[in-house]
């Protein structure tokens, strides 16, 4: 069986759920062009806590884990089924790494549903989320990503959702489609590393702009899962490149997706006014 493609999506603002722009059109195009997966495994930046767990409930709830956005976004529901069976498969395939089965705590957060709302708007494909263990090293996440690779041969699409550059304290409201020089430099360094040698992705942590681009690890770590998956195939391909508000990268990558040509993107959704950007929890 041909392995199911794997993705890293720069998800940006949850308002992308409701908007049509270059990035959301790409997400929709991916869903339309790729073979329909048996199920989706999502590693979202927004389930970042002190354990490695996977959602194992049959009907995961839609979590609205942000602040200051319009009520219409809080009303959005993504009623995709879960898959306790897939959750158990994941726990088995990554052994001896331990993964807990979360039967009633989490659900689908906006790092997942803001993207899947475009890729699979029918919400009719089972979805499970894998947490990001905040207590583990960066090396742990690359290795765990590689352990998930066999799921792709069983029809499971793996989607990592974060942002390569994510610095909410450096947002510039008058730069809707721009990236600061330091953001572009780091974004480009990641692109080169994923193309040349994804297994050594942690070299980018030595880049002089790393601390500005990645002031907290939560949105960067999902990329490490894609790097772990890409190592066996020699690289990951950029699908779209672009920026938002100076200090957010919207760049997306694929593994096993050579048919989609990279393009520049614009028009990413913005953030609500009247609330500090770093308090929105995007």
CA gap 74, 70 in Å, rounded = 7
Residue 9 scores a pLDDT above 90: yes
For 6-279, the fitting CATH number among 3.40.50.720, 2.40.30.10, 3.40.50.2020, 3.40.830.10 is 3.40.830.10
Residues 228-264 have pLDDT tens digits of 999 988 899 999 999 999 999 999 999 998 878 888 9
Q: What is the residue extent of each domain of the chain? A: 6-279
Which residues face 161 on adjacent strands? 9, 44
Residue-by-residue DSSP string for 122-182: T--S-EEEEEEETTS-HHHHHHHHHHTGGGGGGTEEEEEEE-SSB-GGG--TT-TT-B-HH
pTM of the model: 0.97
- Asked if residues 132 and 124 have their Cβ atoms less than 8 Å apart, the reply is no
Residue 26, pLDDT score: 95
């Amino acid at each position: 069986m041909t392995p199911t493609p794997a993705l890293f999506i720069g998800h940006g603002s949850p308002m992308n759920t409701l908007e049509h722009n270059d990035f959301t059109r790409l997400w929709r195009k991916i869903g339309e062009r790729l073979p329909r997966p048996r199920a989706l495994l999502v590693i979202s930046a927004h389930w970042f806590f002190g354990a490695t767990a996977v959602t194992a409930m049959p009907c995961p709830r839609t979590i609205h884990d942000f602040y200051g956005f319009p009520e219409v976004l809080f009303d959005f529901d993504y009623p995709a089924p879960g898959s306790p069976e897939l959750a158990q498969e994941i726990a088995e395939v990554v052994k001896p790494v331990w993964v807990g089965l979360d039967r009633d705590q989490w659900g689908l957060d906006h790092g997942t549903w803001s993207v899947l709302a475009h890729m699979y708007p029918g919400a009719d494909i089972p979805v499970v989320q894998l947490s990001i263990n905040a207590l583990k090293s960066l090396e742990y996440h690359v290795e765990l990503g590689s352990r998930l690779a066999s799921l792709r041969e069983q029809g499971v699409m793996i989607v990592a959702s974060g942002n390569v550059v994510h610095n909410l304290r450096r947002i510039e409201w008058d730069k809707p489609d721009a990236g600061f020089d330091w953001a572009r430099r780091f974004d480009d360094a990641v692109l080169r590393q994923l193309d040349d040698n994804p297994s050594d992705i942690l070299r980018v942590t030595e880049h002089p702009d790393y601390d500005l681009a990645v002031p907290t690890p939560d949105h960067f770590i999902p990329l490490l899962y894609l790097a772990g998956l890409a190592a066996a195939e020699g690289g990951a391909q950029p699908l779209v490149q672009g920026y938002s508000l100076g200090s957010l990268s919207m760049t997306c990558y694929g593994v096993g997706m050579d048919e989609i040509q990279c393009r520049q993107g614009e028009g990413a959704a913005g953030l609500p006014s009247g609330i500090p950007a770093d308090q929105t929890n995007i």
